[in-house]
Amino acid sequence: MPKSCKVYGFTDWYKVGSDCVEYFKKPLNFTAAEFSCRATAPGAHLVSVHSKKDNDLLLCIVEKFNRNNLRFWLGGFELFKSGQFLWLDGSFWDFQIWTRGEPNHMYTSTEECVEMNWKEIGRWNDNSCHMKKNYMCAFKWNTILKPGSEKME
């Protein structure tokens, strides 16, 4: 299980890589989930994933809070049905761990948003963005600090 995020006001969030992350057991469509993240913390977006270790830590978080429904939105989406995926936070798409056969753009290319844990635990699937799922938000811990404030030790 990841450690607590040591940023004042967000100690109930978890540290994953250089992000503070929080799981929300509140099914929303992809767009509404992203706007919820933005309203929750400065600079927050749906979570992006950049390594197997981070992917595994996110899985630990969702397993802790919702073992009965592990599916949740990540911050990945397909750019204009191009087959190219991007992260909402603008970070580089440098890691992926798709379920075998995915992304498959089923249902006439309406699957443009990325979820985790559809068919294989810890792996990704492209799904229709209008579907309601739980989600995970993330922000870079150093973006929330203001001059004169400190990261908690």
Q: Is 138 left (phi over 0), alpha (psi -120 to 50) or beta?
A: beta
For the whole prediction, is pTM greater than 0.85? Answer: yes
Say which CATH class 21-140 falls into. alpha beta
Give the model confidence (pLDDT) of 15-73 as tens digits.
999 999 999 999 999 999 999 999 999 899 999 999 999 999 999 999 999 999 999 99
Cα within 13 Å of Cα(42), Cβ side = 9
Domain ranges of the chain: 21-140
